[in-house]
Structure 1
Amino acid sequence: MNTNLSFLKFTRSLVRHRSCGRACSPSEVPSNTKLTILPNGIRIATEETRSPLACISLFAEAGSRYEKACNNGIFHFIEHLIYKGFKSMTKSELQDLCFCSGIKFSATTGRELQVFSARCLPECSLIVIDIFSKMLKEPAFFENEIEMERYTLTKELIDADNDPKQVLFDYLHQTAFQGTPLAQRVIGSQRNLKSFDAAYCSMIIKDHYQPYKLAFVSSGCVKHDEMSQQVNTHFGCMQGDPAMQSDEGSCRFTGSEVIFRDDSLPYAHVALAFEAPGYNTTDYWTMLAAACMLGSFDRSQGRSENHAYHLAQAGGTGICERYEPFYIPYRDVGLWGVYFVAHKMHLEDMLYNVQKTLMGLCTMSQFSDVQRGVNAAKLLVARSVQGTIDSCHDVGFQIMYRCGRQSLQDSYDCLSSVNHNVLREVCDKYLYDRCPAVAAVGPTENLPEYNRIRAGMYWLRR
């Protein structure tokens, strides 16, 4: 009894540690969202709606941040193999069951989280939970499936290397977080791919997928009590091992640049990024609004000179093909910046306008511009919870990062509190006179050197 109580205290404290240091309470979730934590640490969250369909997802703390250089890509490899059959169910039996029940499974792997999802009718939730249970308790990695997926992933690696944007953002993470696990690619490398086998995949499933790293989330017409009972029946007996707590690694940001020159490409792809706050910080909402203030532009748009965003007006003069801001938040750090595609002779002009706009955010943000960005951010947040699938993923991300869910109205209130004075202060903190991380792919001969880019991050006339 004492052992069980001590392990329960460990799992509760670990959940608090992984969710910005506080335990969740019923007041922290909207009325239609309910949260339960089992004694072994598994989190169960449900959002009850009147949708005729349900989305049930299994979230796990897994990804390239939890990998080492020697096994980088193992979680992405497991993602491709997990639905290929179990010890008590063959691949064909699983496919027949999904076809007859109308269940559609999917899986995604990121740098910090891995998500297994199922879209189904509410009455099929028991089948979905049972399949998730077989995934973790009865994984069967057959040699023929391993070789087939190894071939598929080899082609996926080739396709990824042929996509300039994907290569660019992989390079951006490598230079911004160099020497840390966040620098690793999700897809891994060809060398590691050849070394993965069934025994190693089974060991990773057993050792890494501990109960205190898991969360079951549903959105739709699924009752919370039924969901909790089903999960407790299948996973309540899982006992976590405190020794298997994974190390997230450091999140050190390094201002630097990486350039892959390829004159065969018609345009250059460039990203300028800065160290930004993580998902759990109060500055997250301000930086989200700041990203929305930059707008976006594509050359296919007409009448760009009448665009509301100043950077889009500059892009419409022909100095870029397209641009878009990005904000990639992680648990404790993030990347915030601008990605653009331009002709090699216009790189300096476009970069000048980007830095001019960023300095304007820090020093000359106007009330009307901030309100436009806040309203655009509210629209972005609203779109992230429309439908059962998006809403389920939103609940899962918040449960994994915060151990609680913030309602849409609370998110609106956080964004409404951002004014021009707050935005100037926060942008000055993260952007003004800061060393950026620069990544470029393509004909980059005319891209200014890093010292000149760094010098453009402050104004002497401030």
Structure 2
Amino acid sequence: MAAVGLHRFGAPLIRPARKLLLPRWSTAAGAAQSQEVPVSDPETKVTRLSNGLTVASQDNKDFPTCTVGLWIDSGSRFETRETNGVANFVERMLVKGTKRQEVNAYTSREQTAYYARVLPKDLPQAVDTLSDMVQNSTLDEKEIEKERGIILKDIQKLQTKVEEAVFEHLHFIAYQDTPMSWPTLGTSENVVNISRKDLADYISTHYTAPRMVLAAAGGVNHEALVSLAEKRFSGLSSNKHVEVAPCWYTGSEVRIRDDDMPYAHVVLAVEGVGWTHPNYIPMMIARQLVDNWDRSVIYDTSSGHFPNRLVRNISPSNGARSFMSFNRSYTDTGLWGIYFVADRMHIEDFVWNIKEEWHRIRTGASHAEVARAKNALKQNLLKQLDSSTPVCDDIGRQMLAYGRRIPLSEWYDRIEQVDAKAVTKAMDEHMWDKCPVVVGIGPIEQLPEYIRLRGDMKWRRL
């Protein structure tokens, strides 16, 4: 039987390609070896058309395919309470109307993207398809009704996907009474009532040239892409101004107790930072220090040099199943924390170890472990750019977030400038004596009360 409780408590930059030297770290000693890994950092070219559309591309002939797409400054944060769900509805309808080739898409709280991975010779056709999608959609009434039914089913299915449900609840309580708290799929009540006019109005308001980036990566000629953009997107509106509702963070909790579930799913988090905040990279490094773990993966936790202290302090035999640290950033806010899964009788022990690790990082992260975390973060950034699609996504998202594509070399330079003192200072600013947000789903009887969790944010057991 389930019970629910809610408690409130700049300018574009183009860098020439260059080789970076990424040091390898010894996991045994935590020191830099003499061997270094060369990293390719191809140029990202940027052009802004007269109507405000941004065209950004990276020509990398090492990739056998190219990816091209539109990244749009729109998402559930730009909805009203009555139209929550319209951004996702629009995205689905536009993709549904695409017949000529496969187009992928996603809607987040602040961005919407449409993209296709094709052979370089098919790039013009892909651009043509994207242009047709956002400018010539008929929004057929029969198709709207079909998609409405699919979305309603997806909303119901979401509650069975515990990890996704946990993070929806997290945003709901962290950003109460603001658009950032609303689910990207929308509510069932809203989806039932969203009309064709609502969809058309959202497109005309948000799908304008200054709010769009046409991004491409792979075997792409930038000048040719600009020429295609000028031909296919010249009809877009040049209107840019859209009011963005402010958001605010509220320390709070939600508990959904269901003793029939085999494991407890818990999130503990604090307010993090936005994309451009000075502590963005220090908080990313702090997240890397906590890292992720799953009992299905074999680790040598007996080694004193195993880099993750939290894993060394928990035991798979005592009910720990997995944990995932996260640092989700938005324009002006973020959420930094951990999501863990554990047996019902070991929740309190897990929470205790998490809090101890957070406070340890805040007060005494060592230079050696921060160096390892920095290197791991660099490696992760590199791994995420292993094909044309993630590179294209990186270009699109960064152009919206920063107004430019930050080269990998600059990210590495910024990461390298952060030391252990900066990490502990950032943790002190954002974690110490702050009201957390807590989500618990499943057999969570042992999850400590909120007032105790709040008190632990400024008390370290010795």
Assess same fold via TM > 0.5.
Answer: yes
Residues 198-213 of structure 1 aligned to structure 2 (within 5 Å): 198-213=196-211
Residue in 2 aligned with 1:128?
A: 126
Residue in 2 aligned with 1:297?
A: 293
Structure 2 vs 1, CA of residues 343 and 45 (structure 1 numbering), >3 Å: closer, same or farther? same
Instruction: Give distance in 1, aligned partners of 2:95 and 2:321.
Output: 41
Is 2:70 aligned against 1:58? yes
User: Which range moved further: 268-277 or 124-133?
Assistant: 124-133
Residues 280-429 of structure 1 aligned to structure 2 (within 5 Å): 280-302=276-298, 303-306=300-303, 307-317=306-316, 318-429=318-429
Q: TM-score with structure 1 length normalisation?
A: 0.88
- For 1:82, what is the secondary structure of its paired residue? helix
Deviation at 1:369, TM superposition (A): 1.3
User: Which range moved further: 122-131 or 365-374?
Assistant: 122-131
Report the AA paired with residue 53 of structure 2.
Answer: I
User: Do 1:315 and 1:321's aligned partners in 2 also have CA atoms closer than 8 Å?
Assistant: no
Deviation at 1:275, TM superposition (A): 0.9
Instruction: Give distance in 2, aligned partners of 1:369 and 1:26.
Output: 33
Deviation at 1:353, TM superposition (A): 0.4
Deviation at 1:311, TM superposition (A): 0.7
Instruction: Give distance in 1, aligned partners of 2:460 and 2:358.
Output: 15
Deviation at 1:279, TM superposition (A): 1.1
CA displacement 1:112-158 (0-9 Å, x = unmatched): 00010011112222212222221222111223322221222122112
Structure 1 stretches lacking a partner, 5+ long: 1-21, 86-93, 99-103
User: Do 1:63 and 1:113's aligned partners in 2 also have CA atoms closer than 8 Å?
Assistant: yes
User: Which range moved further: 283-292 or 146-155?
Assistant: 146-155
Instruction: Give distance in 1, aligned partners of 2:372 and 2:270.
Output: 23
User: Which range moved further: 390-399 or 126-135?
Assistant: 126-135
Deviation at 1:23, TM superposition (A): 2.3
User: Do 2:359 and 2:460's aligned partners in 1 also have CA atoms closer than 8 Å?
Assistant: no
Instruction: Give distance in 1, aligned partners of 2:297 and 2:386.
Output: 27
CA displacement 1:29-83 (0-9 Å, x = unmatched): 9762100111221111010110231100100011110111111111111121113
Report the AA paired with residue 24 of structure 1.
Answer: P
Instruction: Give distance in 2, aligned partners of 1:315 and 1:289.
Output: 21
Residue in 2 aligned with 1:8?
A: none
- For 1:70, what is the secondary structure of its paired residue? coil
CA displacement 1:371-428 (0-9 Å, x = unmatched): 1211111111112211100111111111111111111121111111222111111111
Residue in 1 aligned with 2:184?
A: 186
Instruction: Give distance in 2, aligned partners of 1:407 and 1:203.
Output: 36
User: Do 1:272 and 1:337's aligned partners in 2 also have CA atoms closer than 8 Å?
Assistant: yes
Instruction: Give distance in 2, aligned partners of 1:293 and 1:353.
Output: 14
Report the AA paired with residue 64 of structure 1.
Answer: S
Is 2:87 aligned against 1:69? no
Residue in 1 aligned with 2:151?
A: 153
- For 1:71, what is the secondary structure of its paired residue? coil
Is 2:92 aligned against 1:80? yes
Q: Output the aligned Cα RMSD.
A: 1.8
Report the AA paired with residue 167 of structure 1.
Answer: A
User: Do 2:273 and 2:329's aligned partners in 1 also have CA atoms closer than 8 Å?
Assistant: yes
Instruction: Give distance in 2, aligned partners of 1:460 and 1:52.
Output: 53
Matched residues, number: 425
CA displacement 1:310-334 (0-9 Å, x = unmatched): 1112232524211110111111111
Deviation at 1:430, TM superposition (A): 0.9
Residue in 1 aligned with 2:113?
A: 115
Deviation at 1:25, TM superposition (A): 3.9
Residue in 2 aligned with 1:254?
A: 250
Write 1 or 2 for the structure with the bigger share of helix. 1
User: Do 1:28 and 1:406's aligned partners in 2 also have CA atoms closer than 8 Å?
Assistant: no
Structure 2 vs 1, CA of residues 447 and 121 (structure 1 numbering), >3 Å: closer, same or farther? same
User: Which range moved further: 108-117 or 47-56?
Assistant: 47-56
Structure 2 vs 1, CA of residues 348 and 236 (structure 1 numbering), >3 Å: closer, same or farther? same
CA displacement 1:322-351 (0-9 Å, x = unmatched): 111011111111110011011222111110
- For 1:135, what is the secondary structure of its paired residue? helix
Deviation at 1:207, TM superposition (A): 2.2
Write 1 or 2 for the structure with the bigger share of strand. 2
Instruction: Give distance in 2, aligned partners of 1:174 and 1:197.
Output: 25
Structure 2 stretches lacking a partner, 5+ long: 1-9, 18-40
Residue in 2 aligned with 1:11?
A: none
- For 1:327, what is the secondary structure of its paired residue? strand
Structure 2 vs 1, CA of residues 407 and 112 (structure 1 numbering), >3 Å: closer, same or farther? same
Report the AA paired with residue 68 of structure 1.
Answer: T
- For 2:327, what is the secondary structure of its paired residue? strand
Residue in 2 aligned with 1:42?
A: 53
- For 1:279, what is the secondary structure of its paired residue? coil
User: Which range moved further: 297-306 or 351-360?
Assistant: 297-306
CA displacement 1:144-184 (0-9 Å, x = unmatched): 32222122212211211111111111111011111111111
Deviation at 1:248, TM superposition (A): 2.2
Residue in 1 aligned with 2:33?
A: none
